[in-house]
Amino acid sequence: MERVQKVIANLGYASRREAERLIQEGKVLINGNVANLGDKVTTSDVIKIEGVTLDKTKSNDKVYYLLNKPRGVVSTSHDEKGRKTVVDLIDTDKRIYPVGRLDYDTTGALLLTNDGELTNKLIHPKNKVEKVYLAKIKGIITGTDINKMKNGLVIDNQKTSPCRVKLKSYDKKTNTSMVELTIHEGKNHQVKKMFEVVGYDVLKLTRIRFAFLDVKSLKSGEYRILNPKEVKRLYSLGE
């Protein structure tokens, strides 16, 4: 007997958190009945998610992709509005999904996998996985504002953790600055909201690194498969 959300995650259908959300939204059926969080199932139970029956004989092969996300694609597996998703950019018949999200207009390093266990590990704040962003902002940022961001500020009634903030360059003519931020949380629209609090608009945002993975060798929209050593290293994060 295993909890239904664990079975869904282990089969690579969704991350544990996504599986929990699907259950809470009533989209998961066990033998035709709406599942509840924590329900236990055996191998003979039939699990259906959004009308699709889970194939428990499906090979459990895990896949890992690093994508240089272009602008104008959504970071989900399905989009209600029919927009292009990051999964559409990857040639696979596995049910992969992104590890965390980048906004529609944000570019850069995004991991996609069908490994729910690794996904949970990488998105859990306690593991402090680093994400490095480069933001082009309107205005010349002051040292005071950089310090406020470094020390943490309140967005959505929650204080952000201390982080690294570096002014990389600025241009008085265009009145813009390039700022690098290293954070290890993943609050919704965190970078844009942090700049908003100190009064700057983000004109462009790119994630230049996720953990130790950068996308320097990948053009926009290109991806590569992680090698086993990299996967092992990701697993060891936060241990």
Residues near ligand URA (CB under 6 A): 102-103, 106, 189-192, 205
Q: Which is nearer to ligand URA, 103 or 230 (CB)?
A: 103
The DSSP code sequence of 156-201 is TTEEPPP-EEEEEEEETTTTEEEEEEEES---TTHHHHHHHHHT--
CB of 198 to ligand URA, least distance (A): 14
The half-sphere exposure of 15 on its side-chain side, counting CA atoms within 13 A, is 20
d(CA 99, CA 210): 10
Catalytic member of 103, 145, 171, 214: 103
CB of 201 to ligand URA, least distance (A): 12
Give the integer Cα–Cα distance in Å for 33 and 26: 10
Residue number with CB closer to ligand URA (34 or 154) = 154
Q: What is the DSSP letter of 206?
A: E
Minimum Å gap between C-beta 103 and ligand URA is 4
Shortest Å, Cβ 98 to ligand URA: 11
Q: Helix or strand or coil: residue 62? A: coil
Using DSSP's 3-state secondary structure scheme, residue 238 falls into coil
Is residue 101 within 8 A of residue 151, CB to CB? The reply is no
Q: Which is nearer to ligand URA, 4 or 137 (CB)?
A: 137
Q: Judged by CB, which is closer to ligand URA: 13, or 223? A: 223
79 is catalytic: no
* Helix boundaries (H) for 61-189: 116-123, 143-151
- Residues known to be catalytic: 103
